[in-house]
């Protein structure tokens, strides 16, 4: 039984005995003792003063005296400060707690069973007209981390992706390739497929803007006001008309257009897969908008027949949400074509057919908050049991020192370039440290650089509350000091180095097991604080799942690594002469390393054995 549970049970019994009133468990409030006071666990006494009819300090003293008498194996002594009862816990309790954590490599995780709730998480959602960029990196890292956190909380998890593979933006890249591609392929150009297609999307926009500019000038000369001339030019430019004509052919299943579309999309998917592998993310099921939008149209027609939606005179279909305090939402255009909402309804239908979903989480930026508010209402009306309670994991944008990203202008921070740069920077910054490692090969040094570079990128993004906008700073992220991934990774590598040296010293004597020590009658405050921090991993994982907040896992890992480094600075581990204390500190170090590895693993961050 946990130390807190033992104290809670004892306090409930003591208060009832002293003051004659039963105490609900939720009234017993325990917290970690503040550093300036003696003790490790503090009981908030104020709730009991109405029962005792005594001053807070007197009430605290009475409860404390009873705890020492009735629970001597747990509470060694106490001190009362106003309405707070600070308890000094016997060292043997902390040693036993460490032993419990030490023996459980999955400490803090809830097992997943066949009956566990099924949570589906959608993330990534790329367009097939451009490569993944920094915004996608944040989306993918958040989605992957959230999936690991939800599974650690005992949920079955299905990770899904919806690929936006149809529409005018796709046709722009296709048309540009036909006009200026000269048959270029990823193989002939040496480019990743997604980069190649992205180049043609940028090329289309470049030529289109040139056409709009020239046409605008002609219309202004003909007497049109400049603003009106530009708007008409945007609609009448030959390139955009050709792109729309191609889209119509795609909708009509034109064999040539569809063949080109499939070929270019395959190039893009191969490029996406390479980036996903580099980021360390994957999916259990991928859906494609080209397959889901028709399903959505069917569901909208079904809703129309049931009276959930209505058709206007021009043939368009709408949902009237004014009763829910919102506005009217377009679901089908007058020409029968679908909108994004229609696609999401269709995707929901297919997902619900494929999986018995209990909860659906969409990892999508906060500019889509209203969209998901509407989608939740519509899915509920259409009979999806999880529709009303769907979760929009709404995150802020990644901002850059030089402004926002614009795909069509080719000014995005490309995901592949970013990953390569982070790994190269890690190799350069850690060169001296890595080169000093005995017997290190170039391949091993490069692998360490990969782990550190990606760890720096992932941690810097995931440590920030997802709801906030963030400024990405590569140089700051890869620092080996402060709240960074490399700092935590270096702490883990330090622990592994200690354990390797200890195992080598043990030699034929074999590895001393466990954290128990009869002679550790008095642990140092640093050691107890470290065990308390280890214990709080369980609550942190639970909180991260309840709040859908991977950042609290990231910051827990930093706090634990910092606490260990303070302990390591103040106490000897391998040089400790007392064998029992040395055994205890080895077990303490090993447990910290395991929890760091597990915590960083929830974020999709690897930790190197050497660094």
Residue 90 carries which DSSP code?
Answer: P
Spatial distance between the Cα atoms of 270 and 273, rounded to a whole number of angstroms? 5
For the chain, percent of residues with pLDDT exceeding 90: 86
Distances in Å between the alpha carbon of 31 and those of 7, 76, 185, 186?
A: 12, 17, 62, 59
Nearest CA-CA partner of 489 in 466, 459, 512, 467: 459
In terms of DSSP bridges, do strands 41-44 and 30-32 run parallel, antiparallel, or are they unpaired?
Answer: antiparallel
Looking at residue 434, what is its pLDDT?
63
Tokens of 507: 């030699």
Query: What are the pLDDT digits (tens) for 314-331?
Result: 999 999 999 999 999 999
Cβ 405 vs Cβ 135: under 8 Å = yes
Pairing of strands 118-122, 359-365: parallel
Burial of 600 (0-12, 13-18, 19+ CB in 10 A): buried
Average pLDDT in the 582-599 region?
A: 97
pLDDT for residue 511 is more than 60 = no
Residue 561's H or E segment, with its range, is: helix 551-570
Tokens in use for 528? 């107890």
The answer to whether the beta carbons of residues 51 and 98 sit under 8 Å apart is: no
Residue-wise pLDDT for 434-471, tens only, equals: 666 777 888 999 999 999 999 999 999 999 999 999 98
Reduce the DSSP state of residue 285 to 3 states and report it.
strand
What's the gap between Cα 278 and its chain centre?
Answer: 17
Which region among 10-19, 335-344, 349-358, 543-552 has the lowest average model confidence (pLDDT)? 335-344
What is the distance between the alpha carbons of residues 340 and 119, in angstroms, rounded to a whole number?
23
Q: Can you tell me the distance from the alpha carbon of 528 to that of 33, in angstroms, rounded to the nearest whole number?
A: 12
Q: Per residue in 273-323, pLDDT tens?
A: 999 999 999 999 999 999 998 899 999 999 999 999 999 999 999 999 999
CA 389 – CA 272 distance, rounded (Å): 31
Name the percent of the chain lying above pLDDT 70. 95
pLDDT digits (tens, 9 = 90+) for 261-276: 999 999 999 999 999 9
Residue 429's pLDDT is: 83
What is the pLDDT averaged over residues 20-36? Answer: 95
Return the pLDDT at 367.
94
**Cα 474 to chain center, whole Å?**
19
* Mean pLDDT of all residues belonging to the chain: 92
pLDDT of residue 509: 53
Q: 3-state class of 445 per DSSP? A: helix
DSSP 513: P
pLDDT at 519 over 50: no
Mark 470-491 as b/e (b = at least 16 C-beta within 10 Å).
bebeeeebbbbeebbbbbbbbb
**SS3 per-residue string spanning 287-303:** EEHHHHHHHHHHHHHHH
Stated pTM of the model: 0.91
Highest mean pLDDT among 331-335, 381-385, 557-561: 557-561
**In which band, very low, low, confident or very high, does the pLDDT at 481 lie, cut at 50, 70 and 90?**
confident
CB 23 within 8 A of CB 12: yes
Tens of pLDDT, residues 81-101: 989 999 999 999 999 999 999
Distance CA 356, CA 582 (A): 52
Q: Which of 340, 266, 275, 269 is nearest to 141 (CA)?
A: 275
- The number of angstroms, rounded, from the C-alpha of 26 to the middle of its chain's C-alpha atoms is 31
Count other Cβ atoms within 10 Å, centred on residue 465: 14
Distance CA 219, CA 235 (A): 13
Other C-beta atoms lying within 10 Å of the C-beta of residue 255: 8
Backbone angles phi, psi at 608, to 5 degrees: -80, 145
The residue written with tokens 């990196």 in the block is 137
Query: What is the Cα–Cα distance from 385 to 382, expressed in whole angstroms?
Result: 9
**pLDDT reported for residue 440:** 83
| 155 touches 119 (CB < 8 A) | yes
Mean pLDDT of 186-191: 96
- Mean pLDDT value of segment 550-563: 98
Give the residue, 547 or 518, on which the prediction is more confident: 547
Query: Mean pLDDT across the stretch 109-135?
Result: 96
> Pick the residue with more confidence: 406 or 400?
400
Segment 515-537 shows an average pLDDT of 79
Q: Tell me how far apart the alpha carbons of residues 360 and 386 are, in angstroms, rounded to a whole number.
A: 7
Q: Which residues contact 127 (CB under 8 A, 6 or more apart)?
A: 164, 165, 169, 170
DSSP string, 34-79: PTTSS-SEEEE-GGGHHHHTS-HHHHHHHHHHHHHHH-TTTEEEEE
Chain centroid, CA 201 distance in Å:
30
Cα gap 480→493, rounded to integer Å: 12
Q: What's the pLDDT band for 518 if we cut at 50, 70, 90?
A: very low
Is the backbone of residue 482 left (phi > 0), alpha (psi -120 to 50) or beta? left
Structure-token pair, residue 390: 């769907």
Is a pLDDT exceeding 60 seen at residue 515?
A: no
pLDDT, average across residues 497-517: 70
The confidence score (pLDDT) of residue 323 equals 92
How many whole angstroms separate alpha carbon 421 and alpha carbon 418? 5
- Mean pLDDT in residue range 38-58: 96
DSSP state, residue 87: E
Spell out the domains of the chain, with CATH numbers in brackets: 3-89 (3.30.1360.70), 165-283 (no CATH)
Please say if the pLDDT value at position 401 is more than 70.
no
Q: If we measure between CA atoms, which residue out of 193, 226, 8, 137 comes closest to residue 421?
A: 137
Q: Reduce the secondary structure of 189-202 to three states and give it as a string.
A: HCCCHHHHHHHHHH
Give CA angle at 164 (233, 128), nearest 5°. Answer: 75
**What is the predicted pLDDT for the residue at 406?**
46
| pLDDT at 411 (0 to 100) | 56
Instruction: Return the pLDDT at 517.
Output: 43
Query: What whole-number distance in Å separates Cα of residue 605 and Cα of residue 97?
Result: 27
pLDDT-derived band of residue 337, with 50, 70 and 90 as boundaries?
A: confident
pLDDT of residue 478: 86
């Amino acid at each position: 039984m946990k130390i807190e549970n033992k104290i809670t049970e004892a306090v409930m019994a003591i208060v009832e005995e002293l003051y004659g009133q039963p105490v609900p468990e939720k009234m017993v409030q325990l917290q970690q003792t503040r550093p300036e006071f003696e003790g490790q666990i503090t009981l908030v006494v104020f709730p009991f003063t109405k029962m005792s009819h005594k001053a807070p300090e007197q009430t605290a003293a009475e409860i404390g005296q009873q705890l020492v008498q009735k629970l001597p194996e747990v509470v060694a002594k106490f001190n009362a400060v106003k309405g707070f009862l600070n308890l000094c816990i016997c060292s043997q309790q902390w040693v036993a707690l460490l032993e419990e954590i030490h023996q459980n490599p999955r400490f803090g995780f809830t097992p997943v069973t066949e009956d566990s709730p099924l949570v589906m998480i959608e993330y990534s959602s790329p367009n097939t007209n451009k490569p993944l960029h920094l915004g996608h990196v944040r989306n993918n890292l958040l989605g992957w981390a959230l999936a690991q956190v939800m599974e650690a909380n005992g949920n079955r998890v299905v990770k899904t992706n919806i690929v936006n593979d149809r529409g005018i933006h796709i046709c722009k890249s296709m048309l540009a390739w036909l006009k200026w591609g000269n048959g270029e392929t990823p193989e002939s150009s040496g480019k990743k497929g997604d980069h190649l297609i992205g180049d043609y999307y940028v090329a289309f926009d470049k030529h289109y803007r040139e056409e709009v500019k020239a046409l605008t000038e002609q219309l202004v000369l003909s007497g049109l006001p400049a603003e009106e001339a530009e708007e008409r030019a945007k609609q009448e430019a030959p390139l955009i008309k050709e792109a729309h004509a191609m889209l119509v052919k795609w909708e009509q299943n034109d064999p040539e257009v569809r063949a080109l579309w499939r070929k270019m999309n395959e190039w893009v998917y191969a490029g996406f897969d390479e980036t996903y592998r580099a980021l360390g993310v994957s999916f259990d099921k991928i859906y494609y908008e080209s397959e889901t939008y028709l399903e959505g149209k069917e569901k909208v027609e079904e809703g129309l027949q049931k009276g959930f939606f209505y058709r206007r005179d021009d043939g368009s279909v709408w949902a009237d949400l004014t009763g829910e305090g919102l506005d009217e939402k377009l679901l089908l255009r007058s020409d029968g074509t679908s909108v994004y909402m229609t696609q999401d309804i269709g995707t929901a239908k297919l997902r619900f057919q494929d999986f018995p979903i209990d909860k659906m989480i969409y990892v999508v930026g906060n500019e889509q908050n209203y969209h998901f508010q509407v989608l939740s209402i519509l899915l509920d009306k259409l009979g999806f049991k999880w529709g009303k309670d769907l979760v929009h994991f709404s995150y802020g944008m990644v901002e850059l020192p030089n402004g926002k990203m614009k795909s069509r202008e080719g000014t995005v921070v490309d995901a592949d370039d970013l990953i390569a740069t982070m790994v190269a920077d890690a190799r350069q910054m850690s060169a001296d440290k890595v080169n000093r490692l005995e017997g290190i090969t170039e391949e091993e040094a490069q692998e360490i650089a990969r782990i550190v570079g990606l760890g720096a990128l992932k941690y810097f993004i995931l440590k920030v509350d997802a709801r906030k906008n963030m400024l990405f700073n590569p140089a700051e992220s890869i620092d080996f000091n402060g709240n960074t991934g490399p700092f935590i990774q270096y702490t883990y590598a330090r622990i592994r180095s200690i354990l390797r040296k200890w195992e080598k010293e043990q030699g034929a004597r074999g590895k001393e097991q466990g954290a128990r020590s009869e002679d550790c009658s008095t642990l140092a405050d640093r050691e107890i604080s470290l065990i308390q921090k280890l214990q709080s991993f369980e609550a942190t994982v639970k909180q991260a799942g309840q709040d859908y907040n991977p950042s609290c896992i990231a910051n827990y890992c930093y706090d634990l690594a910092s606490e260990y480094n303070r302990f390591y600075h103040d106490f000897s581990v391998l040089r400790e002469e007392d064998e029992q204390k040395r055994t205890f500190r080895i077990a303490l170090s090993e447990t910290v390393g395991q929890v760091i590895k597990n915590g960083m693993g929830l974020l999709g961050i690897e930790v190197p054995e050497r660094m």
